[in-house]
Amino acid sequence: MSAEGKSVIVTGASSGIGAATAKRLAEAGAQVMLAARREDRLKELAKEIGPNASWRVTDVTNHNDMLSLGQAAMKHFGKVDVIVNNAGIMPLSPLANRRVEEWDRMIDVNIKGVLYGIDAVLSHMLERKEGHVINVSSVAGLMTNPTSAVYSGTKHAVKAISEGLRKETAGIIRVTTIYPGKVNTELGHSIKDPDVLAGIGDRFNYTGLEGEDIAEAVHFAIASPRNMVLNDIVIRPIEQVL
């Protein structure tokens, strides 16, 4: 099996895991719709990928944007086989530091963005009686550490949403949740809390994975035989303990 001929929406496609996933799937013969807020990055990536790529500036926290993204992909490709809900942010901080705006933003991007992505394609997939929803959570969605209470909460929510979707659509929609450990992406750039920044070197003092490593897992899940589904994929650097 392969991803050849599949039409795939990838959110958070302007960098990191999203960009690597889009390139990997296009190399495998898939058609990819790139979605993110940074138009310049999307144009550059689409040019690099070539004719198998299209793009649309999208804010995953805006429901209408996500509905328009789904409609654009269906119009452009004729169908949507897969959505990779990858967009996410990780502004870690202790709860006592009361960084409420960051909490709200994480809830909007990490939870609502996934829900809006599902909503953008689910009716279409149910009508076609096939489809694949891939949600990128985090190992923080399997446990919680100091400073990650809200981030972990959002990623636990992705786990719960994925499991609910799996049970509601069993036999029709394939649902995969991916739980990456440390990956060398721009995700850490969203951390602004001085207490966290002061100790981040000690906390993450091991070599991270690359976006391409997670992209391989996404491709593997998509390319698996139709009669099976990889529901949960946990990927950590070999040195990572938590």
Instruction: Give the active site residues.
Output: 151
Q: Give which of 92, 167, 171, 84 is closest to 130, Cα–Cα.
A: 171
Q: Give which of 113, 112, 121 is closest to 60, Cα–Cα.
A: 113
Q: Compute the distance between CA of residue 1 and CA of residue 48 in angstroms, rounded to an integer.
A: 25
3-state secondary structure of 102: helix
DSSP per residue, 145-181 = -TT-HHHHHHHHHHHHHHHHHHHHTTTTEEEEEEEE-
Q: Copy the structure tokens of residue 23.
A: 């390139």
Q: Give which of 16, 8, 66 is closest to 33, Cα–Cα.
A: 8
